[in-house]
Amino acid sequence: MKSTLFISALLATTLSFASCNSSNAKSNKNNTNKTLKTADNTKIQVALLLDTSNSMDGLIGQAKSRLWNIVNTLTTLKYSGKTPDIEIALYEYGNDGLAQQSNYIRQVTPLTTDLDLISEKLFALRTNGGNEYCGAVIQDATKKLEWGKENSNMKLIYIAGNEAFNQGGINYKEAISDAMKNDIYVNTIFCGSSLEGINTFWKDGADYGKGKYFNIDSNLSVQYVSTPYDDQISKCNVKINNTYIGYGATGSSKKTNQETQDKNAQGVSSANYTERAVSKSKAVYKNESWDLVDKVKEDPKAIAKIKKEELPAELQNKSEAELEVIVTQKTKEREAIQKEIGELGKKRQQYIDAEAKKSKSQDDLGNAINTSIVALAKVKGYTVEK
């Protein structure tokens, strides 16, 4: 088996009328409230189904290389002027280390906003085996993940592999039909020639799922563009980590994991590390489950509810008023750093776009997924903000 590649939304418009009778005004108010509620619930949900059978190391490598680039593409999407929440799920399939009775499928993570968790689990994947059942893993992702119900949600499955798409006891058309009933688009990425992907039903799967079909060379090295802004963004990343205050049972371990995922990204390339830093400047990178700064943004009264023993040792002797001052200070520091990264990130992307026009590089995993995300987003009524 060859390596594969892989990895990589939405909503309402408010009605207003200049004048109307009281009955119509009440009706319009209700419609507006309903619209705003829908906008607040808008999500972009992406399930990545990765083949981890033997010789799929190229796939895993490209996924590691492009995770934060894909996240940054997702953050350019707006629905009614708002940035939707982003949830990513990760599956592996085709690995002989998994149970045969489960069709060699494992849900690595559910749909989650915890992007560091996705990175952690992605870097932990190992190849072995196997038997690749595309219909089975699509069915599992469709039925077992918690997909959103709002019409404005954009729900995407990306499945990558290089064996025949119709293997296994579950018909891929039936699995994709179930996905389409839930408004989930199925996109396929075949590692090999376009004709081979067509002959082995990968294109048919994408066509049936109203998604996009791509063929790529998973052995292709990801091409990075170094920019004059990378060093400064990297320095900002070090500073932004110092604004996080871990709390609760997982506060310390999650903060450590944040730094571990920085190192993982940096181990792939300096450009990947920079992409991750840019992601940290976005609203979708949020950690309210363990970071006190994000928690207070979500719940302004959070400090009063937290027990002393849930705080870092150096803060346990602080009064509530003192904690509020510290959190306010860290919030301002983070917002200033995020603003700086955001401005540098835009200049960086403009530089990369200009360089890309000068070359004719082959598609890799990130380019394939990013291209389809933008195209499908426009179908769903999203706009792309540069």
Whether pLDDT at 114 is above 50 = yes
* DSSP-derived pairing of the beta strands 210-216 and 105-112: unpaired
What percent of the chain is modeled with pLDDT above 90? 73
Q: Which helix H or strand E contains 275, and what residues bound it?
A: helix 270-280
Q: Please answer whether residues 86 and 78 qualify as being in contact, where contact means their C-beta atoms are separated by less than 8 angstroms.
A: no
Structural domains of the chain ordered from first start: 43-222+362-384 (3.40.50.410), 230-356 (no CATH)
Q: In the structure, what pLDDT confidence band is assigned to residue 364 with cuts at 50, 70 and 90?
A: confident
- The residue that leads in pLDDT, 196 or 224, is 196
Give pLDDT tens digits for 41-77. Answer: 799 999 999 999 887 888 888 899 999 999 999 999 9
Contacts of 317 (CB under 8 A, 6+ apart): none
On the question of pLDDT at 237 being above 60, the answer is: yes
Computed over every residue of the chain, the mean pLDDT equals 87
CA 323 – CA 261 distance, rounded (Å): 28
* Consecutive H or E run containing 348: helix 320-356
Average pLDDT over residues 362-376: 82
- For 196, the 3-state DSSP assignment is helix
Q: State CA 46 to chain mean position distance.
A: 6
**pLDDT above 50 for 12:** no
Tell me the backbone φ, ψ of residue 356, rounded to 5 degrees. -65, -30
pTM of the complete model: 0.86
Q: What is the dihedral of CA 26, 29, 34, 37, to 10 degrees?
A: -140
Q: Are 166 and 172 in contact (CB under 8 A)?
A: yes
pLDDT of residue 130: 78
Phi, psi angles (nearest 5°) of residue 382: -85, 155
